[in-house]
Amino acid sequence: MDSTYQLLEFAAKSWPDKPAIIENGSSISYRELYAQTELLKAELLQLGLTKGQGLGVMGRNGSVFVAMMLAGMACGAVVLPISHQLKAAEIDCLIRDTKLHAVLDDQSGVQPVDTDLVMLPCAQHVLRFAWLEQAKNEPVTPLSDAAFIRYTSGTTGSSKGVVLSHQSILQRVEVATKALSLTPDDAVLWVLPMAFHFLVTVLVYMRSGARMIVCKDLLAQTIIHDANQHQATFLYASPMHFRLLAADASGELMPTLKNAISTSAGLPLNIAEAFAKRFNLAVTQAYGIIEIGLPLLDSLSGKEKKPQSVGFPAVGFSVELLNDDNKTVAEGKVGRLAIRGPGMFDAYLKPWKAVDQVMVDGWFMTGDLARRDIDGRIVICGREKSMINVSGNKAFPEEIEAVLDRHSAIEGSRVYGQVHPLMGEIVCAEVVLVNNAVLDVEDVLRFCRVQLSTYKVPQRLKQVENITQTHSGKLKRV
């Protein structure tokens, strides 16, 4: 294959009558999805969309969003997925930073631009298309084979536009397809926002001939109902979804589920254990990163699952843990997580920086700190930029948050460092309480002291109404 669009062509030829996507009580086959996308591609070509132009694609989860993304790629455009939940100012910023040529949306969010609109039919929907002021003959990137741009979550810094070519996308799809081991008999329960998780998941399911069950909302009862109605075998979700499901009190199981994978952020062990107890199914963690794809995944079969780890390198990937001098750390020590393998991103958009300029001695530095277990599994300890240095001791917010979140009165937490004249930094925490709970600071600190070294116990504790997350579901750091 030379183009990402050929993944849909392949699926339509291989499994024409199999359901591709199930949504709103109906399904669309791979043949129908391909036909729908072909019609939209023809409309976009007629409007003048062509190779190298930047196309923003904005919409909610579903077959129409998939068709919009793939139709844009089929025209040779470089597509940028945009969440329909973004506000006008956020969309303006994306358009300005990326220098898009056009925007296509499904009318599920705010109108992204005020320029003249062309209305395009797509299945039972009417889409909006608008040209922007960018000169049409100026490509959105210097990369001739560019296909996709997505911005990083910006959890601890400014967001970066990650550029991928068709070849890079196809490479990472093949690796992830082997790692996830899906078949045409699998049914994937879809709960993640497609605008942030289109690569590689949607394309892997398509490559495997699996069907996607798009949940209409994120209520636990909806997810469980859809899983059982459509015999879901595979759940790929974030810690938030596993928390909601573990707290469900209906007692109803999801007996057809074979694998449950957590991604996008670290999964607290107490949530993994609660989900496993509630549904009789262990959770597996995956390490996904837009610059690389899916390089790490815990065992889906054979070996015992360890939800506290992100598992082993996928086929073709190498992983190393490095110190500040880029030398390998001693066995069992925490180091900077470095990865290399197939399907690496091609460049950062602004300022333009090719992947070779980003790599360090052939390694991509993820920004995460990790250790390697005795069995070879990788355990993420935290982010380099969020690590708290308390009198020379390293404290990781993620570890402290996991302890706080186990307290019966706490629904969620965020830990951060604050400058201190004597200790360098001290540990501070914000907590959201469960309904009707009252914050007992001493009780929480006693709880922490039992499970954490003294320097990791929060020096300051503050109750807040909510904790900000990024649009992709990651905790927004200070």
Using one digit for the tens of pLDDT, what is the confidence trace for 358-405? 999 999 999 899 999 988 999 998 888 888 988 878 788 888 998 999
Residue with tokens 């394309």, as numbered in its chain: 203
User: Residue 198: enclosing H or E segment and its boundaries?
Assistant: none
Residue 198's CB is within 10 A of a number of other CB atoms, namely 20
332 — pLDDT class (breaks 50, 70, 90):
confident
Query: Which strands form 347-348's sheet, in the order they lie side by side?
Result: 118-122, 125-131, 102-105, 54-59, 78-83, 146-151, 161-165, 347-348, 353-354
pLDDT of residue 478: 61
Q: Give me the mean pLDDT over the 423-444 stretch.
A: 92
Residue 36, token pair as written in the block? 């729908």
CA distances from 135 to 52, 80, 99, 102, 131 (A): 12, 18, 9, 11, 10
Confidence of residue 471 (pLDDT cuts 50, 70, 90): low
Question: Which domains are present in the chain?
Answer: 6-140 (3.40.50.980), 168-383 (3.40.50.12780), 388-463 (3.30.300.30)
Q: Which two tokens stand for residue 14?
A: 């291989």
Q: Which residues pair with 469 in a beta bridge?
A: 475
Q: What is the pLDDT of residue 472?
A: 61
DSSP 81: E
| Number of neighbouring beta carbons within 10 Å of residue 55 | 25
pTM for this entry: 0.85
Q: How many CA atoms lie within 13 A of 267 on its CB side?
A: 34
Residue range 103-123, pLDDT digits in tens? 999 999 999 998 889 999 998
